[in-house]
């Protein structure tokens, strides 16, 4: 993978933003390898993502940050620049189900997910062997239904200790307390096993079966304290029929969950997802 | 299109149903050209659809009906047999939007919808020219918001006069009164412009835009007096992104609506859709 | 539809292209409503498409052209700028099959295809009524198998007389002579009824049936003198099974053909398709 | 998973086949849980698959076989009946690439592939750890380019020793000699990384990139001695664009390969694939 800086920004739309940004890059001889922009005409907001070849620039990421800051301030940008060689630290949270976790580990192992995985945390011990085979520490943190706070405190502690940048709920099946969500805004990624906003809440495949839908889906979204209502990163569906009972829907759904979560995480890691209000701009 | 009889039946599941039916057909030398069955193990219900080459049987549809009745009674079947040469009469109801109506007319004109269309009824006069060009009578029946009953009474009258077997709401945009629905149970087909049960009710594309979904869809279903909650015949989706505003979603959605409605109607006309409770078995 | 200028360009990649273009636009206070870029790192080639709100600029398209020319020359651009209010003239060529033609006419009639259709030309007279109902002149130009040149000369004459910018082969089923192709490079759009490069040549659905494929497709491409080998604009597929004979494949394939051709043409009309070598960059 | 017998048969089409089969089952009180039939009218051939609840029948699979044989002989059937509790033995062949292998192992581990995997054989040693973590023996059988026969003899020996019923080429990347193919007809499953018959032979993603296609695909097929030309079990595609270079196509293609191979193998294991000539009937 090429060494690039990834600049992402959002700001009120006005004339000349691209000119300011591209002049800045051109003045330092920066080679843009990928560029995306979006003007939300209704909201009057502008979004941009540029990949710049790191070795084409005369400075490192810190100097880049300092040099760019005045432009960003001037145009009231929410912005960031990320060095592709600084791999993100992603903590995976799981329960007993292995399909999403195993898929992510397999992709990571094969080099298709550009991140470090400092540890996996689960409320059951089932998946320890799988995780440890990949050389990743596994923490079993049980949930006491009478006192869930203990669990979440311990998880938060482990996440902090790992220096994690991103959390992925790989079918973790626990509802996060609001205070937990607030600590990692737009950095906790969940896979919900329905095509949201259909079948919010528990047992979505059972709900889908009862309604007799002809497609089932999955949704990858950022977690907010409003359950299943956070900004959607990606969704997909697969066809089902009268022949498929709930267990078959669950089996088929797994493939969609795996694919959608992997895609959403990948886009997140590559700084392709910009959140605005409760919606996302995805520069895939 | 080959001349066939289409036998469809549903009954409590038990051993020997297929044997009884296939013995019946074999005894008269009937050639089965397509056969589908489904046992719903949870409900304990059995569904079957057979196409039998008409000229392989020694009798016409009426004699078939009489000959088969004792078996059907014995096994407590809900059943029907349909002669493919008896074309169904389908009345199309529309409003101002032409995309679904024009698509159905075009397919019908090209020989891809095996039915007669005795007339099109609309609450606006916009589509008269298109309809009449196809040689189909067009009835403009306006809606008086203060007294909608007049409209529905007149529509029902026209449908009866046309001897219609099936009604298709091709973006008709009116909510049918319960009494109207009850007159043609499982014979009124609607296209809803969302992936139900998401975005029930008015302006689904606006709702989808607000929620920031990444797929939009359409649902073809039989109309019941519970709005947007009838048995689903078919659904499909298409991908959207942050670049698509509501008008673009509407434009893209049209393609899905057209495709899903045409598919659902075709399956209905070929006796491929069996309703059980609020769900469908579709022998596509 | 908003009044915009659409600037498209391709040139050797180097540092500062975007800066030059965006400075140019910013200096005249141009509001960019949509922007896409692509750097083909392997070919060392750069592609850009910008939509600029016309009323934000102090000049018309001609002045734009003159003002931008020095930059374009300097950077060795192949480029164009198109005024969205100058509707393209598109001549449709057909044969007997009505599905693609009727679909395009219906979309055009509904306002979803932003172009004029000065005439339809066909080698049979079947579709005259459909075309004329839309208020479009229809020319029947028969093909004499012994002397096809007469046909193509007459077609070319009519196309010229219509001042056509683009030709669409809506299942026209005639192989164009090289000299004809050369007259409208990258401006003749064909729909091929297979997923190219599978099943090149005649009767692709029959070939697909023989091979036992599980998906059939369609391909929209620019016509070159190398049959079925021109730059691909779009493709799509649909699922088939052992139940589908050739006639059913043809029926299902029509839906894909319609969708792919309409999409490809729309992108072409919106200047979203840039050709480089035998491949396309599609800024959809 | 329920204990069933799976009866599959193919024979010349004639009146009364279903009656014969269903009478046979009904006479022993057999409960049919799933039934599929297909009459290929062009070929005059009939195909059937029935699942019968094992505990509804008064006999085991051997007695079933004997009891049914006279009917099968009489109707000139190619047929089989399989006890779902007799798990098939599937040997996986791999090379260095882990994505298909890891996916199959993960599905197997999670209970979604109903088979035994007596061993994995590979021509490189890379994947030993992954395989052995699943508790499956791993055999490294190198290929000597100067004398490939040694390799294939050894592989055949291991397959025989494992008592394998089915072989899966999970990106094995070796061309099997005809004699090897002939030993396991319709029992060697390959995943080809293109949408066949496009891009037959080596490096299909490179070929796809060169041609500029907008979809890439994968094909799961039975191996015959005619390379890439065996009966197709399943295919699927995914969308690509001008932004995707060969390495990105390879990455995206992996998801399609995984899904298509897993689906094809599952259908094979559940006796859903019947081969006739060079085509398949898939009762999915």
Q: What is the pLDDT of residues D51-94, one digit of tens each?
A: 999 999 999 999 999 999 999 999 999 999 999 999 999 999 99
Q: How confident is the model at residue B201 (pLDDT cuts 50, 70, 90)?
A: confident
* Average pLDDT for C264-274: 98
How would you class C117 by CB atoms within 10 Å of its CB: exposed for 0-12, middle for 13-18, buried for 19 or more? buried
d(CA C198, CA A207): 42
Please report, for residues A97, A110, A188, A217, D16, the alpha-carbon distance to residue A93 in angstroms, rounded to integers and kept in the order given. 11, 20, 10, 21, 58
Instruction: Based on the fold, state whether residues B247 and B129 are members of the same structural domain.
Output: yes
φ and ψ at B153, to 5 degrees? -65, -45
What residues of D are in contact with residue A99 (Cβ under 8 Å)?
A: 106, 110
D82 φ/ψ angles, rounded to the nearest 5 degrees: -125, 135
**Which CATH number belongs to the domain containing residue A64 in this structure?**
3.30.70.260
Are residue B79 and residue B112 in the same domain, yes or no? Answer: no
Q: What is the mean pLDDT of residues A37-62?
A: 95
pLDDT, position C81: 98
Statement to judge: residues C103 and C219 lie in one domain: yes
- Partners of B133 on chain C (C-beta within 8 Å) are 129-130, 133
The tokens of D22 are what? Answer: 């269903």
For the beta carbon of residue A46, count every other beta carbon within 10 angstroms.
21
Residue A160 has pLDDT above 90, yes or no: yes
Asked if residue C273 has pLDDT above 90, the reply is: yes
Cα–Cα separations (whole angstroms), residue A29 to A56, A208, C76, D96:
6, 54, 19, 41
Query: Of C83, C115, C147, which residue is a domain's last?
Result: C83
CATH number, residue A178 = 3.40.50.170
What is the mean predicted confidence (pLDDT) over C233-237?
98
pLDDT of D1 > 80? The answer is no
Tell me whether C22 touches chain A (CB under 8 Å).
Answer: yes
Distance CA C249, CA C236 (A): 14
Three-state secondary structure call for residue B229: coil
**Last residue in a domain, options A49, A65, A83:** A83
CA nearest to D133 within chain A:
A133
Q: Give residue C236's pLDDT.
A: 97
Question: Residues of B with CB below 8 A from A279's CB?
Answer: 212, 242
Nearest CA of chain A to the CA of D76: how many Å?
Answer: 31
Chain C residue whose CA is closest to B256: C259
Identify the residue whose tokens are 């494949």.
C249
End-to-end CA distance of chain B: 17
C170 and C114 in one domain?
yes
- CA count, 13 A, side-chain hemisphere, C21: 30
The range of the structural domain enclosing residue B134 comes to 88-282
In angstroms and rounded to an integer, the radius of gyration of the C-alpha atoms of chain D is 20
Quote the pLDDT of residue C266: 97
Distance CA C5, CA C9 (A): 13
How many whole angstroms from its chain centre is CA A73? 27
**Under 8 Å between Cβ of C30 and A15:** yes
Beta bridge partners of A232: A221
Query: What value, to the nearest 5°, has the Cα angle with vertex B50 and ends B45 and B51?
Result: 160
In this structure, are B166 and B42 located in the same domain? no
The DSSP call for residue B245 is: -
Across the interface, do C245 and D42 touch by the CB < 8 Å criterion? yes
| pLDDT of the residue at B227 | 83
For residue A49, the cross-strand partners are A8, A36
Tell me: do B61 and B93 sit in the same domain.
Answer: no
Residue D194 contacts C, CB cutoff 8 Å: no
CB distance A95 to A171 below 8 Å: yes
Catalytic positions of D? 228
Distances (CA, A) of C249 to B32, C218, C257, D280: 22, 12, 12, 16
Q: Could you list the beta-strand ranges (E) of chain A.
A: 4-12, 32-40, 45-53, 78-83, 88-94, 115-116, 120-122, 138-140, 166-169, 188-192, 215-222, 232-239, 273-276, 279-282
What CA–CA distance (Å, rounded) separates C164 from C115? Answer: 11
- Final residue of a structural domain among C59, C83, C107: C83
Mean pLDDT of B70-89: 97
CA distance A95 to chain C (A): 36
Q: Using alpha carbons only, how large is chain B's radius of gyration in Å? A: 20
DSSP 3-state percent helix, strand, coil across chain A (nearest 5): 35, 30, 35
Q: State yes or no: cis peptide before A217, omega within 30 of 0.
A: no
Specify the pLDDT at position B128: 94
- Return the residue in D3, D25, D26, D45 with the most chain B beta carbons within 10 A, the one to mutate for interface testing: D26
Cβ contacts of B259 within 8 Å, gap of 6 or more: B236, C255
A15 with C37: Cβ contact below 8 A: no
Residue for token digits 């509707």? C87
D246 shares a domain with D199: yes
Q: Which two tokens stand for residue B115?
A: 């039915």
What is the reported pLDDT for A251?
94
- Cα distances from D83 to residues B23, C66, D2, in angstroms, run 27, 79, 11
Give the strands of the sheet with A32-40, arranged side by side: A78-83, A4-12, A45-53, A32-40, C32-40, C45-53, C4-12, C78-83
Whether C253 and chain A come into contact, CB under 8 Å, resolves to: no
Task: Identify whether the C-beta of residue A240 lies closer than 8 Å to the C-beta of residue A214.
Answer: yes
Q: Which three-class secondary structure state does DSSP give residue A111?
A: coil
**Would the pLDDT of C1 be above 90?**
no
Q: Please name the residue of chain D whose CA is at the shortest distance from the CA of residue C260.
A: D214
Active site residue B228: yes
In the numeric block, the tokens 């080998």 are attached to C229
Nearest CA-CA partner of A224 in A171, A184, A172: A184
Q: How many domains does chain D have?
A: 2
pLDDT (average), residues B40-60: 95
Which chains would you list as touching B if contact means 3+ CB atom pairs under 8 Å? A, C, D
Q: Are B120 and B127 in contact (CB under 8 A)?
A: yes
Please write the tens of the pLDDT for every residue from C186-201.
Answer: 999 999 999 999 999 8
Task: Answer yes or no: do B215 and A199 touch at CB < 8 A.
Answer: no
Whether residue C255 lies within 8 A of chain B, CB to CB, comes out as yes
Asked whether residue C101 falls in the same domain as residue C79, the answer is: no
Mark whether D242 and D104 lie in a shared domain. Answer: yes
Tokens of B97: 């939007």
C107 by DSSP, 3-state: which?
helix
Using CA atoms, how far apart are residues C97 and B280, in angstroms rounded to an integer?
34
Q: What is the mean pLDDT of residues B124-128?
A: 94
* Residues of chain B neighbouring D15 (CB-CB closer than 8 A): 26, 29-31, 56
Cβ contacts below 8 Å, chain A against chain C, sum to 53
Asked if A255 lies within 8 A of D259 by C-beta distance, the reply is: yes
Which of B165, B228, B234, B271 does the annotation list as catalytic?
B228
Q: Do B19 and D19 lie within an 8 Å CB cutoff?
A: yes
The pLDDT-based confidence of A95 (bands split at 50, 70, 90) is very high
At C26-76, the pLDDT tens digits run 999 999 999 999 999 999 999 999 999 999 999 999 999 999 999 999 999
| Residues of C (131-150) whose Cβ lies below 8 Å from B | 133
Same domain, A147 and A253: yes
Are D140 and D94 contacting, i.e. CB atoms less than 8 angstroms apart? no
The set of chains that have 3 or more CB pairs under 8 A with C is: A, B, D
CB within 8 Å: A106 and D103: yes
Helix, strand or coil, per DSSP, at residue A84: coil
Span C139-166, average pLDDT: 96
Q: Is C39 on the interface with A (CB under 8 A)?
A: yes
Helix D99-109 with A99-109: angle, nearest 10 deg: 160
Give the closest of D106, D133, D255 to A259, CB-based: D255
Q: How far apart are the first and last CA of chain C?
A: 17
Chain A residue at shortest CA distance from C16? A26
Burial D110-123 (b: 16+ CB within 10 A, else e): eeebebbbbbbbbb
Residue length of chain A = 284
User: What's D55's DSSP letter?
Assistant: G
Which chain A positions have a beta carbon within 8 Å of D102's beta carbon?
A: 106, 109-110
Question: What percent of chain B shows pLDDT beyond 90?
Answer: 94
Task: Check if the beta carbon of residue B52 is closer than 8 Å to that of residue B8.
Answer: no
pLDDT confidence of C87, banded at 50, 70, 90?
very high
Asked if A142 and A271 sit in the same domain, the reply is yes
Put simply, the answer to whether A106 touches D110 (Cβ < 8 Å) is: no
pLDDT value at residue C86: 95
Q: Which of D23, D31, D56 sits opposite B19 (nearest CB)?
A: D23
B223 and B100 inside one domain: yes
Judge if ipTM > 0.90: yes
Any chain B CB within 8 A of the CB of A102?
A: no
The verdict on a CB contact (< 8 Å) between A37 and C33 is no
């Amino acid at each position: 993978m090429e060494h690039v800086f990834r600049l992402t920004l959002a700001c009120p739309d006005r004339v000349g933003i691209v000119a300011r940004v591209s002049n800045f890059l051109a003045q330092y001889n920066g080679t843009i390898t990928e560029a995306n922009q979006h003007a939300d005409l209704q909201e009057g907001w502008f979004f941009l993502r540029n990949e710049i070849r790191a070795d084409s620039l005369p400075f490192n990421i810190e100097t880049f940050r300092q040099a760019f800051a005045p432009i960003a301030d001037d145009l009231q940008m929410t912005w960031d620049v990320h060095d592709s060689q600084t791999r993100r630290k992603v903590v995976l949270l799981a329960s007993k189900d292995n399909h999403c976790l195993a898929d992510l580990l397999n992709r990571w192992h094969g080099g298709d997910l550009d991140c470090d995985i400092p540890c996996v945390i689960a409320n059951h011990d089932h998946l320890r062997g799988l995780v440890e085979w990949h050389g990743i520490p596994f923490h079993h943190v049980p949930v006491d239904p009478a006192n869930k706070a203990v669990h979440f405190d311990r998880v938060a502690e482990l996440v902090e200790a790992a220096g994690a940048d991103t959390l992925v709920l790989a079918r973790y099946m626990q509802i996060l307390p609001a205070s937990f969500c607030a600590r990692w805004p737009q950095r906790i990624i969940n896979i919900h096993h329905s095509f949201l906003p259909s079948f919010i809440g528990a047992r979505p495949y059972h709900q889908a079966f009862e309604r007799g839908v002809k497609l089932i889906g999955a949704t990858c979204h950022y977690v907010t304290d409003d359950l299943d209502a956070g900004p959607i990163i990606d969704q997909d569906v697969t066809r089902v029929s009268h022949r498929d009972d709930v267990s078959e829907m669950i089996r088929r759904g797994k493939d969609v969950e795996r694919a959608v979560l992997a895609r959403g995480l990948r886009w997140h890691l590559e700084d392709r997802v910009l959140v605005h209000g409760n919606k996302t701009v995805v520069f895939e």
